Amino acid sequence: MIMNFEEWYKDTRTQIILSLLVIIGFILFGSIIFNVNFYLENKELQRKIPHLTGIGGDLVEKSNMILNPQTEKDFVNNYCYGFTEYTLPDNTRVDCIHNGYAIEFDFAKKWAEAIGQSLYYAKVTGFKPAIAIIMKSPDDEKYIERIQWVDKDITIFRIKAYDEAKP
């Protein structure tokens, strides 16, 4: 059967296919625009991040720190010099973005959870993965060894939340 253009265009199957193609086109276009915007925002964020020296094996406390911090948020407020609680497009939050790192703050016993979060945040932001591990005793060093065993590319910052003078 030979159809001219008008007959082909009026055919119900053709209209359904063309409608689906238009919808798919809008979805793809919207996805591309979203990804380009997120990439540009991420580049803007990278330019705004303060670059301070001294970020390394142990994090340095801020001068306006909370005395006797108890919660993860207290430690984030005491030790993060960059952006805190940075919200990603999926509404998850990076504890701290600083100096090219996406840093997850967690108590040492939550080491496994911290690995997943830091790797995810690094993937989404394009920054390097890092964990600020809050140690309640010298025995918590074993959790740092576990993190290093799982992924040697995760930077670990130790926060010693115990008195080193006590045995």
Sheet of 155-160, strands arranged across? 83-87, 93-98, 101-107, 128-135, 155-160
pLDDT in tens, 122-152: 999 999 999 999 888 889 999 999 999 999 8
Spatial separation of the C-alpha atoms in residues 18 and 22, rounded to whole Å: 6
pLDDT band at residue 34 under the 50/70/90 scheme: low
Give the global pTM.
0.63
Residue 119 CA, chain-centre distance (Å), reads 7
pLDDT band at residue 46 under the 50/70/90 scheme: very low
Q: What is the pLDDT of residue 58?
A: 47
Spatial separation of the C-alpha atoms in residues 141 and 164, rounded to whole Å: 13
The residues, ordered by sequence, that sit 6+ positions from 148 with a Cβ below 8 Å of its Cβ are 154, 156
Q: What percent of the chain has pLDDT over 90?
A: 29
Q: What is the pLDDT of residue 10?
A: 61
Stated length of the chain = 167
DSSP 8-state code for residue 83: E
Are the beta carbons of 92 and 73 closer than 8 angstroms? no
45, exposed or middle or buried, with CB in 10 Å at 0-12, 13-18, 19+? middle
Decide which of 160 and 50 is more confident.
Answer: 160
pLDDT in tens, 55-96: 344 455 555 555 667 888 888 888 888 888 988 889 999 999
| Strand pairing category for 128-135 and 101-107 | parallel
Q: What percent of the chain has pLDDT over 70?
A: 59
Spatial separation of the C-alpha atoms in residues 125 and 93, rounded to whole Å: 11
Average pLDDT value for residue range 37-64 = 46
